[in-house]
Amino acid sequence: MELIAVNGLRKVYGTRGASVIALQDIHFAIEKEQFVAIVGPSGCGKSTLLKILIGLIPASQGEARLSGIAIAGPRRDIGVVFQSPVLFPWRTVLDNVLLPVDVQRLGRDKLMARAMNLLSLVSLHGFEKRYPRELSGGMQQRVAIVRALVHDPTILFMDEPFGALDAMTREQMNMQLQHIWLERKETILFITHSIPEAVFLADRVLVMTPRPGHIVDDVVIDLARPRNLDVMTTSDFGRHVKRIRDHFKTVGDLSA
């Protein structure tokens, strides 16, 4: 069954005078256990789409469904990672990770093993008692990913999660995220403005063009897994990147 179904979504910001059409006629579906990336230049409406999907803002028209139920407000059965990790400085790594468990009163005993397992999966074993300030940016973002997964969400949403990291850390994070996905078979919707990042990570890349944001292509990335960074130098990888990049050439925007 489709986990996410988006039909005829439209979003207009502002009512009087200067209104902005941020999204226009968005349609797509995501199957369980798929890793889907949405790629598009800055300002094309990616975060707007994500905010609608996590129930933070309403759509102006159309609807989005998660597990068959219309998304009408914030829900607890999802995980979200933003560009900035937003950890609580006074909580240890483990206490940050267990925040959703505490807030939703799921019981620490039941989920402690899962939390520890996820921390190991992102190479943070031994850092449970550290505080966020003692960690690098990449490590903090890994804590945020574990926190988003600890309550076993139906789907993980990520909005440019590695955008603030340096290029080498970002590549390592991409490898780790693939590792998590292969191990845990999460369903992931990953938003990025980096075409190579989208192609490296995803099974499918939805291509969004600038305002009003509209999906113009749905590219199946059939590269074998596990993928390592060398895949980026292959002709198949280059072919996917070119196909996606060509959409932006036609509108004269190379910022992606």
* Binding region for ligand ADP (CB under 6 A) out of 38-46, 90-98, 111-119, 138-146: 38-46
Q: Which of 47, 140, 192, 209 binds Mg ion (CB under 5 A)?
A: 47
User: 3-state secondary structure string, 138-178?
Assistant: HHHHHHHHHHHHCCCCCEEEEECCCCCCCHHHHHHHHHHHH
Binding-site partner at residue 20 among ligand ADP, Mg ion, none, CB < 5 to 8 Å by type: ligand ADP
Query: At 21, is the secondary structure helix, strand, or coil?
Result: strand
* Binding region for ligand ADP (CB under 6 A) out of 39-47, 165-173, 230-238, 243-251: 39-47
Interacting residues with ligand ADP between 185 and 244 (CB under 6 A): 211
Q: Which of 2, 7, 12, 13 binds ligand ADP (CB under 6 A)?
A: 13
Q: How far apart are CA 53 and CA 41, in angstroms?
A: 19
* Binding region for ligand ADP (CB under 6 A) out of 44-52, 127-135, 214-222, 246-254: 44-52
* Binding region for ligand ADP (CB under 6 A) out of 45-53, 109-117, 140-148, 219-227: 45-53
Instruction: Specify the residue, 178 or 209, whose C-beta has the smaller distance to ligand ADP.
Output: 209
Which residue's Cβ lies closest to Mg ion?
Answer: 47
If binding means CB under 6 A, how many residues of this protein chain bind ligand ADP? 13
Distance of closest approach, residue 76 Cβ to ligand ADP, in angstroms = 24
Cis peptide before 212 (omega within 30 of 0): yes
Residues 177/180/185/191 CA torsion (nearest 10 deg): -20
Instruction: Specify the residue, 64 or 119, whose C-beta has the smaller distance to Mg ion.
Output: 64
What's the distance, Cα to Cα, between the start and end of the chain in Å?
32
Pick left, alpha or beta for residue 188 (phi over 0 → left; psi -120 to 50 → alpha; otherwise beta).
beta
Closest CA to 213 of 42, 55, 65: 42
45 binds ligand ADP (CB under 6 A): yes
Binding-site partner at residue 85 among Mg ion, ligand ADP, none, CB < 5 to 8 Å by type: none
59 binds ligand ADP (CB under 6 A): no
Distance of closest approach, residue 39 Cβ to Mg ion, in angstroms = 12
Q: How far apart are CA 125 and CA 120, in angstroms?
A: 5
Residue type, 20: V
* Binding region for ligand ADP (CB under 6 A) out of 12-20, 120-128, 178-186, 239-247: 12-20
Distance of closest approach, residue 57 Cβ to ligand ADP, in angstroms = 8
Name the H helices within the chain.
46-53, 93-97, 99-103, 108-121, 137-149, 167-184, 195-201, 235-250
What angle (nearest 5°) sits at the alpha carbon of residue 247, between those of residues 80 and 3?
35
Binding site for Mg ion (CB under 5 A): 46-47
Binding site for ligand ADP (CB under 6 A): 13-14, 20, 22, 40, 42-48, 211
